[in-house]
């Protein structure tokens, strides 16, 4: 059975990335009819671990994976290194003697154990699992705040508490005060709300360079002069031109020579990346990273749908798809000042066109909305394994950016 693997970030109190929960189903609503907990976990292990992509999916952090009862007692978490995994015990798992024994041994062996969707009304038998748990995940908006606070205080110094489904700055700040140490939810996708005073601005010099590159015959000497006025940008362009992707047999030492080596189309893409990266902050770091991966994923999908000639347009639509949330401004106002193709602008504004259709498929994949993704892959005859492999390629590509472009981070 084929299955996709999406991921949702988990943050610490300083909004630094702690790890990812790997998502392979959405309750009972995904389009893989009849998938139970055992089948879902078995498939995610096969697809993301046994084919050696696990470390890429978790970005070298930790991966949270749900384990049903039978897999716990069979010791399947040991397929993964204890330094890279958080074993999530599903809320439906009963605290049987066999489960408690298995978890006790896993903990002894150095594995981190988390209780997923913690229910305050579990019986006394469940107490043994509470005592074994390193992390307890609580759906923040679902459980009474007083009950949460009592539990957190009773386990102070013994258990790390993770607030799930935190969606606003108000909820995040309240969870911080209550003593939560880890956080998961959609609050990260609205980073400007964390500090509404810090509204980012786009680099005017980069916009001027992009506008010049967008001309039918760009003035490369003029572009070189603009870049030479910015030491950081000059360094990035030279470093980019001397990477293996563009050939390093004969190193380049001038900006204009570097521009020629990289080429206009690649320069357009990289300038947009520099533009996006320029508004990166601690609060929006994960969203900027997701936007970059999204852009590369859309560029890779071009070849699958026969739109190779528009690769840059798809790439740019992907990386700017969350720019309104990153800058805390309206999409309409932001893109009005950018030299974007009308089809890209319309896609970013939500109007239906081919670019928007591809963008919606990537967003559905990221959010594990498998039903929404099913129609797209079927219409374009893309196999699930292929879609997943493209996503992994996008992740690997993002890993190259710090070496080639983000020298100042």
| Side-chain-facing half-sphere of 141: CA atoms under 13 Å | 11
Q: 50: pLDDT confidence band, cut at 50, 70 and 90? A: very low
Min mean pLDDT across 15-24, 140-149, 158-167, 310-319 is at 15-24
pLDDT at 213: 83
| pLDDT digits 0-9 by tens, 346-359 | 999 999 999 999 99
Go through the domains of the chain in sequence order and give each one's CATH number: 6-189 (3.20.20.450), 204-404 (1.10.3210.10)
**What's CA 45's distance to the chain center, in Å?**
19
| pLDDT digits 0-9 by tens, 291-315 | 989 999 999 999 899 898 888 889 9
Residue by residue, DSSP assigns 288-357 as: HHHHHHHHHHHHHHHHHHT-GGGHHHHHHHHHTTTHHHHHTS-HHHHHHTS---HHHHHHHTT--SHHHH
| pLDDT digits 0-9 by tens, 197-225 | 333 456 777 878 887 887 778 888 888 88
Task: Tell me the backbone φ, ψ of residue 325, rounded to 5 degrees.
Answer: -75, -35
Q: Quick one: tokens of 404?
A: 């080639």
User: pTM value?
Assistant: 0.72
| pLDDT digits 0-9 by tens, 55-74 | 777 888 998 988 888 888 88
Q: What is the mean pLDDT of residues 74-102?
A: 87
Q: What is the mean pLDDT of the chain?
A: 80
Q: End-to-end CA distance of the chain: give it in Å, rounded.
A: 41
| pLDDT digits 0-9 by tens, 232-259 | 788 778 877 776 455 556 677 778 888 8
User: Which DSSP state fits 183?
Assistant: E
Percent of the chain at pLDDT above 90? 28
| pLDDT digits 0-9 by tens, 353-376 | 999 999 999 998 888 788 888 889
């Amino acid at each position: 059975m084929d299955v996709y693997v999406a991921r949702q970030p988990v943050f610490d109190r300083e909004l630094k990335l702690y790890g990812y929960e790997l998502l392979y189903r959405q309750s009972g609503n995904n389009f893989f009819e009849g998938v139970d907990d055992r089948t879902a976990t078995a498939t995610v292990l096969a697809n993301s671990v046994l084919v050696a992509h696990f470390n890429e999916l978790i970005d070298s952090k930790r991966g949270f994976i749900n384990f049903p009862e039978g897999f716990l007692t069979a010791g399947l978490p040991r397929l993964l290194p204890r330094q890279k995994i958080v074993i999530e015990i599903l809320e439906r798992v009963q605290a049987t003697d066999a489960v408690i024994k298995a978890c006790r041994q896993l903990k002894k062996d150095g594995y981190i154990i988390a209780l997923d969707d913690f229910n305050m009304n579990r019986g006394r038998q469940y107490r043994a699992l509470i005592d074994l748990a390193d992390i307890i995940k609580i759906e923040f908006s679902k459980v009474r705040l007083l009950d949460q606070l009592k539990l957190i205080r009773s386990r102070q110094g013994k258990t790390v508490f993770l607030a799930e489904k935190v969606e606003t700055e108000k909820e995040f700040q309240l969870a911080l005060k209550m003593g939560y140490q880890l956080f998961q939810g959609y609050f990260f996708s609205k980073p400007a709300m964390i500090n509404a005073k810090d509204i980012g601005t786009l680099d005017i010099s980069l916009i001027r360079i992009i506008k010049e590159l967008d001309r039918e015959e760009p003035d490369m000497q003029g572009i070189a002069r603009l870049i030479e006025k910015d030491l950081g940008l000059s360094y990035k362009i030279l470093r980019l031109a001397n990477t293996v992707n563009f050939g390093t047999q004969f190193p380049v030492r001038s900006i204009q020579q570097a521009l020629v080596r990289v080429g206009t189309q690649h320069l357009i893409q990289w300038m947009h990346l520099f533009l996006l990266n320029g508004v990166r902050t601690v609060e929006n770091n994960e969203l900027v990273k997701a936007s970059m991966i999204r852009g590369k994923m859309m560029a890779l999908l071009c070849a699958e749908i026969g739109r190779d000639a528009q690769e840059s347009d798809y790439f740019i639509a992907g990386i700017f798809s969350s720019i309104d949330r990153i800058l805390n401004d309206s999409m309409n106002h932001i893109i009005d000042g950018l030299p974007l193709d009308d089809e890209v602008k319309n896609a970013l504004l939500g109007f239906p066109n081919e670019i928007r259709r591809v963008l919606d498929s990537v967003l559905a994949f990221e959010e594990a909305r498998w039903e929404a993704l099913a129609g797209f892959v079927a219409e374009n005859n893309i196999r699930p394994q292929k879609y997943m492999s493209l996503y992994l390629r996008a992740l690997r590509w993002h890993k190259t950016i710090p070496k080639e472009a983000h020298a100042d981070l």
